[in-house]
Amino acid sequence: MFSRHLSNSMASPKKKLQGLVAATITPMTEHGEINFSVIGRYVDYLVEEQGVKNVFVNGTTGEGLSLSISERCRVAEEWVTKGRNKLDQIVIHVGALSLKESQELAQHAAEIGADGIAVIAPFFLKPWNKDVLINFLKEVAAAAPALPFYYYHIPALTGVKIRAEELLDGIQDKIPSFQGLKFSDTDLLDFGQCVDQNRQRQFAFLFGVDEQLLSALVMGATGAVGSTYNYLGKKTKQMLEAFERKDFSSALNHQFCIQRFINFVVKLGKFPSLLLGRVWRLPRWHSDKESTCQCRRCKTLGFDPGLGRSPGVGNGNPAPVFLPGKKSHEQRSLAGYIPWDCKELNTTEQLNTRCWESFRESNEGLSSLCPRVQQEHLLISCKQGSIPNANFQSQSYKTVK
């Protein structure tokens, strides 16, 4: 009943995956169970409020690797069911340490009618060279030969440093369903070479470091998969449009604005994807601080951005905050990806409200965040002039000195 692609014998996307792809969170109840009931609203929110019509499910942001196989299957089913006729493409991440599990997930994705599958490198017993990795990917892809296959390159989290450029060399001979690369790394030499050496092919090059997307567009990215498109989708689209019409100054303004925002989050010591708020599956992230967000937006959407309130739970109990606090070394080690310096901020310092107000005015994406999150920013310190826009005047930021 789910099938959208079963009749396909060859992997060819109904259209090339491009533009923005939201790496979806997996909504949880306050008891750490998956809250399937809000996924329908989540779809509507992405489409209507963020203008984002592609999703990447069960990836890093979605905590795919912290879910059981049956949970991953159910989450995928829910997205496909609720996203049908609303979303353009639903790509399911099916990477796992066990080849059998990965194959099972791939097969399942095909059966339910997903639009593509993506796979990370196994990260415990790691492939030691390109051929070993390709063989693993090939076996997974073979379990769903009719589905477009994307390699998900995220070396800082998997620890598998095989360069994507090397991997792509001749990949379609081994994996006929290969359609593209999701590149979550800052090595633009590697990314650029992937594009350059495959110009004759119609691969999708999807960049996964949201704060550097503009640089990747210059290198030839055809789209982007990321956590921030859940709430900065509109804003990022403006950047894509400016880039498209070759208005590079405006595109740069947008990218800087997004960077400032991500920088805010990083300085809070938080993972950007947490801004949508949720209970994380990772138990050690639990803090005993309690908070409930009652803002209209959170209630309507079922999200409690930044506060960990589980979507759609309305029993009035205070929800535990599962967000990593500034003192949470677990968060930093887990997020290990972070090349960011999450140094503690001095909360007694005054916020430069002019910077903040200007930032807020110029960023419609922020309106999709909970006022409590916005408020939280007001509590953090931001030394006068520390937002790096002093030398970058534009229409949007002209109020900032």
Give contact residues for ligand SI3 (rule: CB under 6 A): 23, 56, 59-62, 184, 208-211, 225-228, 262, 272-273, 337
- What the block records as the tokens of 276 is 């949508």
Question: What residue spans of 122-210 are helical by DSSP H?
Answer: 130-142, 155-158, 164-168, 171-174, 188-196
Q: Which residue is nearest to ligand SI3 (CB)?
A: 59
| Closest CB to ligand SI3 among residues 29, 273 | 273
Collapse the DSSP code of 311 into the 3-class scheme (helix H, G, I; strand E, B; otherwise coil) and give the result: coil
CA distances in angstroms from 316 to 42, 182, 292, 293, 296, listed in the order given:
21, 40, 8, 10, 15
Which of 208, 269 has the CB closer to ligand SI3?
208
CB of 290 vs ligand SI3, minimal distance in Å: 26
Q: Are 35 and 313 in contact (CB under 8 A)?
A: yes
d(CA 138, CA 167): 12
Distance in Å from the first CA to the final CA of the chain: 58
Residue 61 beta carbon to ligand SI3: minimum distance, rounded to whole angstroms: 3
Q: What are phi and psi of 380, to 5 degrees?
A: -85, 160
* Alpha-carbon torsion (300, 37, 321, 357), positive or negative: negative
The contacts of residue 7 (CB under 8 Å, 6+ apart) are: none
SS3 label, residue 129:
coil
Whether 152 is catalytic is yes
Pairing of strands 178-183, 204-207: parallel
Structure tokens at 20: 């923005």
The question of whether 182 is a catalytic residue gets the answer: yes
C-alpha 301/C-alpha 40 separation (Å) is 10
- Cβ nearer to ligand SI3, comparing 94 with 295: 94
Cα–Cα distance, 385 to 253 (Å, whole number): 17
Annotated active-site residue in 82, 182, 235, 270: 182
Of 152, 229, 231, 397, catalytic: 152
Minimum CB distance to ligand SI3 smaller for 73 or for 120: 120
Give 61 or 179: the residue with its C-beta nearer to ligand SI3: 61
Minimum CB separation from ligand SI3 for residue 384, in Å? 25
Residues 228 and 224: their CA atoms lie apart, in Å, by: 10
Question: Could you give the CA distance from residue 32 to residue 30 in angstroms, rounded to a whole number?
Answer: 5
- Least Å distance between CB 257 and ligand SI3? 14
- Integer Cα distance of 185 and 209 in angstroms: 7
- Considering the complex, state which of residue 53 and residue 313 has its C-beta at the smaller distance from ligand SI3: 53
Q: Which is nearer to ligand SI3, 168 or 225 (CB)?
A: 225
- Per the listing, tokens 């826009």 go with 389
Task: Name the residues annotated as catalytic.
Answer: 152, 182
